[in-house]
Chain A
């Protein structure tokens, strides 16, 4: 159990996908303006990350067995793209309510580097199937945490007065810098808790 806790805490806090690994910066800067859209987008990302990991991990094993492991990138992006389409169709048909709140973000996620990133990372880190899925879940929660925290920070920024040249994206980036500095404080937290 401790092993899975370490993976989750590591993915959520220490190696936060957005603020430490720089994956999924576009939605982080683009969709974090309002809290509800930030939450909707993040939930869709968590969902797709876990599904995509569950689907790509066995495919990598198949590719390795066939001796064509280098086709990873090509295979993964196709699986993710078709998976997102399938999920959208399925949600529309069977869970229209969920589709209404999450579905709108799904097409944006196909080209989200965080999803492809987590699939490739899980292979690179040499995780087992279960560990990979737990890591994907942690990465998604980390994304949610960063989005929610940052949407709060952004709402505060909007109300303040700062130099004209920093209006818009630059101020957002500087704020992200400070938030990511806060996340650096988590660097030793796992060693502290689990005494490794």
Chain B
């Protein structure tokens, strides 16, 4: 595969949050402002790139049977590093993201890319895939964060934009606003791609647990 297309694949064709619909929990939870969205996106990207590189290096050493626990250990190691770095150099972001920093470990995007990409490709390609997917995820979080911040508090990156014209709709900063904004964004992507990009249902094909799950072979979690 062309090196550039690996990167753009993650940003557009297989955008993790908007098209593959992975990593929904942080997408909904931390996007109360554009800055938080970027903070979460960049933290996830850092973990994703590092774990992709290490897993691609170790792919011949890790036995296939215990690969998932091995991936989790690698990912958890990098999450701890990122969390300590944030505590030291960006305490505000760390406080805003809170619980969702350690929860990067169980973000489906990272385990999913380890299983689907880093496991089969070279170190360089895996690093590029991590960069592409990371940028795609950050972009999606930035979109969510900007929309919610603009409507919910009338600001963008902390600067007042529409506060004088219309009153902020505070519910967009709360849980219902998150679900609503995400639903509308996914519907917009659906509309623009004429429904081709997103599968109608959340299926097992994108689920990183599919390899470990007996249900995936039988046609899905609902069976």
Q: Select the stretch in B8-16, B34-42, B157-165, B213-221 that faces chain A.
A: B213-221
A124 to B25, Cβ gap below 8 A?
no
Closest residue on chain A to residue B180 by CB atoms: A177
Q: How far is the CA of A1 from the CA of B212 in the complex (A)?
A: 41
CB distance from A135 to the nearest CB of B (A): 14
**Is the CB of A55 closer than 8 A to any CB of chain B?**
no
CB-defined contacts of A163 to chain B, threshold 8 Å: 187
Contact of B176 among A31, A73, A177 (CB under 8 A): A177
Flag if B99 contacts A169 (CB, 8 Å): no
Interface of A is mostly: helix
**What's the minimum C-beta distance from A142 to chain B, rounded to whole angstroms?**
13
Nearest residue in A to B211 (C-beta to C-beta)?
A: A107
| Interface size range on A against B | 35 or more
A163 to B, closest residue via Cβ: B187
B222 touches A177 (CB 8 A): no
A111 and B106 contacting across the interface, CB-CB below 8 Å: yes
Closest chain A residue to B174 by CB distance? A184
B-to-A contact residues, CB < 8 Å: 21, 24-25, 28-29, 69, 72-73, 76-77, 79-80, 83-84, 99, 102-103, 105-108, 111, 171, 174-180, 182-184, 186-188, 190-191, 195, 198-202, 207-209, 212-215, 221-222
Q: Are A113 and B176 in contact (CB under 8 A)?
A: no
Question: Which A residues touch B84, using CB under 8 A?
Answer: 70
Residues in A neighbouring B207, C-beta threshold 8 A? 26, 30, 108
A163 to B187, CA, bound (A): 9
- Cα–Cα distance between A137 and B135 once the two chains are bound (Å): 38
A residues adjacent to B (C-beta < 8 A): 19-27, 29-31, 33-34, 37, 41, 70-74, 76-78, 81, 104-105, 107-108, 110-113, 116-117, 120-121, 124, 163-174, 176-178, 180-181, 183-184
B99: A residues at CB distance < 8 A: 117, 120-121, 124
A26-B24 in contact (CB<8A): yes
Q: For A105, list chain B residues within 8 Å (CB).
A: 221
The residue that B29 contacts in the complex, of A21, A120, A172, with Cβ under 8 A, is A21
Task: Output the least CB separation between A16 and chain B (Å).
Answer: 9
Interface centre among B176, B177, B184, B188 (most CB of A within 10 A): B176
User: B28 contacts A25, CB within 8 Å?
Assistant: yes
* B174 partner residues in chain A, CB cutoff 8 A: 184
